[in-house]
A and B are shown apart, each in its own frame.
Chain A
């Protein structure tokens, strides 16, 4: 191993450790998909829903009323400081980073949609209720079903517990996998 190889290995290691440390610090609050749906239904005027996924994903499907913005847009565009901003993406990491970016611009009312677009699909558009559901689960489902119908969703009751998704992300991944396919 030459001296140059050692120097490059050290540089890579330093950049990787710095990458690990560069993750956004500080807590950003979450909003649940049902709470967001509720606020959209109530036509909350202060609410501003921002989709930070790429334009093709937004064009394919998005939360009703959402605006698509790139990170560049978030750095430059003027959003009223009083707005209550809800950010979502495919993954929480991107939404959290976008929230951090807005925080540095002075926005304080910024929250992230927990588990992103996948949670919106599985919790709002396609909520499911197990046959052996508890009273608490039934109450939650009744609320979700009402909101789901408002957004043109399809709530399903009396499904086997084994058919319930393991998690919102997994369920929605199955639902949207295959929706887009692009050659390389």
Chain B
């Protein structure tokens, strides 16, 4: 039996729908328990006083990457069936900047905004509301901004495909970058704290 179960049909459409809220609640619970429902903690990374978010997100990324790579190698997961979002260079770069500005101004990102809202924090409710307004505005203006949204398409590519290196080499490079980043982040926190 090979994963992903959503693609191989093991879960079925009902199972997929049922698993989504379970994973979502688990993710939210972990974020809240990790203190990431607090806007103060989140904005700390922009002032280099608290780099928890950077460390949590990058360690989650490396854990998922190593897990997915080895599960694929061991035949438990077929990575070719895992959905890979398409790359649109310019619109995604603009989206990244907008996301960063919104993160800094609101103090929360989409996931943590939902966590904060669920925990009853007013700032979380405000950011989650703003997010919904943003989604509505994007949809209302979609025809107008469509040329930009669909520009600079690269298709569903990975970093290793773009660089023309084997997957294993990419895994090693990102892990080394993460470990170096963690060491640097701890040093910065000690110096600023």
Residues of A within 8 A of B (CB): 1, 9, 12-13, 15-17, 19-23, 52-54, 70-72, 75, 89-91, 93-94, 173-174, 176-178, 180-182, 184
Task: Looking at the assembled complex, report how far the CB atom of B187 sits from the nearest CB atom of chain A, in whole angstroms.
Answer: 10
Of the candidates A9, A22, A53, A75, which one forms a contact with B179 in the assembled complex, judged by CB atoms under 8 Å apart? A9
Sampled A-B contacts (16; CB under 8 Å): A9-B182, A12-B179, A13-B176, A15-B66, A15-B175, A19-B171, A20-B166, A20-B169, A20-B171, A70-B8, A70-B81, A75-B75, A90-B161, A91-B161, A177-B154, A181-B86
Q: Is the interface of B mostly helix, strand, loop or mixed?
A: helix
Q: Tell whether B40 is near chain A: CB-to-CB under 8 Å.
A: no
Q: Which 10 A-B pairs have the closest CB atoms?
A: A16-B175, A177-B153, A177-B155, A20-B172, A19-B171, A19-B168, A20-B168, A16-B172, A23-B168, A23-B166
- Please tell me the number of chain B residues within 8 Å of chain A, measured between CB atoms: 37
User: Is there contact, CB below 8 Å, between B172 and A19?
Assistant: yes
CB of B5 within 8 Å of the partner chain: no
Determine if A173 and B70 form an interchain contact, defined as CB atoms under 8 angstroms apart: no
A173 to B150, CA, bound (A): 14
Q: Give residues 48-62 of B contacting A (CB, 8 Å).
A: 62
Q: Which residues of A contact B62 (CB under 8 A)?
A: 12
**Least CB distance, A89 to chain B, in whole angstroms:** 7
Chain A residues whose CB sits within 8 angstroms of the CB of B169 once the complex forms: 20, 23
Q: Quick one: CB contact mask for B92-136 with A, threshold 8 Å, 1 for yes?
A: 000000000000000000000000000000000000000000000
* A94 and B166 form a contact (CB under 8 A): no
Q: Which A residue sits closest to B62, measured CB to CB? A: A12
Q: Is B153 in contact with A71, judged by CB distance below 8 angstroms?
A: no
Query: B55's closest neighbor in chain A, by CB?
Result: A5
Q: Which of B163-185 contact A (CB under 8 A)?
A: 166-169, 171-172, 174-176, 178-179, 182
Judge whether B2 and A23 touch: CB under 8 Å.
no
Q: Tell me if B47 is interfacial: C-beta within 8 Å of chain A.
A: no
Q: Which residues of B contact A93 (CB under 8 A)?
A: 160-161, 166-167
- Nearest chain B residue, comparing its CB with the CB of A9: B179
Known: A19-B73, A93-B160. 9 other contacts (CB 8 A): A12-B66, A12-B175, A16-B172, A20-B169, A23-B166, A71-B2, A72-B78, A174-B153, A177-B154
CB distance B80 to A53 under 8 Å? yes
A176 pairs with B66, CB closer than 8 A: no
Bound Cα distance A176, B8 (Å): 25
Q: What residues of B have a CB within 8 angstroms of the CB of A54 in the complex?
A: 7, 80-81
Instruction: Determine the distance from Cα of A173 to Cα of B167 in the docked complex, in whole angstroms.
Output: 19
Contact B66 A16 (CB under 8 A): yes
Chain A residues with CB under 8 Å of B153's CB are: 174, 177-178
Interchain CA distance A178-B153 in the complex, whole Å = 7
For residue B19, CB closer than 8 A to chain A, the reply is no
Q: How far is the CA of A174 from the CA of B87 in the complex (A)?
A: 12
A19, B70: Cβ atoms under 8 Å?
yes
- A70 CA to B1 CA in the complex, in Å? 12
